[in-house]
Amino acid sequence: MEEILALVEARLRTALGEPDARADVTFLGTDRIEVLRFIDGDVVRYATLGMSGQPMADPTSPLADPVKGPRAELILSVRVGLADTDQVLRPLAVLAASPQVEGLIVAPGASLDVGQPLWPGAPFSSVLVAEPGGLVEDLELDAPMDPVHFLPLLPMTHNEAAWKRVRGAQELQERWLSHGTDLRDPLRTSVALD
């Protein structure tokens, strides 16, 4: 596990530069989750480190495979200075621990909800998991292990999350695109959902 996390951190540093801060959170019965912060101009990126140490297991399977299975880390990008987004560290760690705690498989198109604002005053308590491969390339591991995917998180307002449940992730993303929604704005309002 430590070897995998060292490779994951190296991949994050190659893609995003040196982190300027890091914090770690440990939940009872889970491995430690770290959150690294990277500043890139007017954008701050928070990346989890620790989620990929173990493969995510199918919750219906009687035995979890210790080697095979999907692996991922989460990345959230927001604009700097508009809100106290550093308070997102614990909610991000909660989301990263959810495969161990709840037996979830986090995959593109999924909605994840922390049940409270992602940071003080945030209009979001949930995120949409987007497709990997854009910001940070997948990290190939030795067979038979699956590669580590770096999954972008897109904050959703309560109305957007409800609309996504009915219409699907693809339609919500198309709605954001057609309205020119700045998904990095930590204070943005809901996109028009008529």
CA dist 52 to 6, 129, 187, Å?
A: 11, 16, 30
Mutual angle of helices 169-178 and 158-167, in 10-degree steps? 120
What mean pLDDT is predicted for residues 44-62? 88
Q: Which of these, 24, 126, 4, lies nearest to 71 by C-alpha position? A: 4
- The segment with the largest mean pLDDT, out of 39-48, 56-65, 80-89, is 39-48
Statement: residue 57 has pLDDT above 90? no
DSSP run (H or E) holding 99 = helix 89-102
Using pLDDT thresholds of 50, 70 and 90, give the confidence band for residue 77.
very high
Distance, in Å, from the CA atom of 58 to the CA atom of 55, rounded to the nearest integer, reads 10
The answer to whether 34 and 50 are in contact (CB under 8 A) is: yes
Return the pLDDT at 31: 83
Can you tell me which residue has the tokens 């309002």? 189
CA angle 158, 88, 179 (to 5 degrees): 45
**Percent of the chain having pLDDT more than 70?**
98
DSSP run (H or E) holding 79 = strand 71-79
Average pLDDT across the chain, whole number:
92
**Percent of the chain having pLDDT more than 90?**
78
Q: Is 150 helix (H, G, I), strand (E, B) or coil?
A: strand
Statement: residue 59 has pLDDT above 70? no
Using pLDDT thresholds of 50, 70 and 90, give the confidence band for residue 47.
very high
Q: Is 179 helix (H, G, I), strand (E, B) or coil?
A: coil
Tokens coding 154 = 């897109």
Return the pLDDT at 67: 83
pLDDT digits (tens, 9 = 90+) for 136-193: 999 999 989 999 999 999 999 999 999 999 999 999 999 999 999 999 999 999 999 8
- Residue 141's contacts (CB-CB under 8 Å, 6 or more residues apart) are 4, 7, 71, 147, 148
Statement: residue 117 has pLDDT above 80? yes
pTM of the predicted structure, to 2 decimals: 0.94
Return the pLDDT at 118: 96
Statement: residue 194 has pLDDT above 80? no
Statement: residue 61 has pLDDT above 80? no
Return the pLDDT at 22: 92
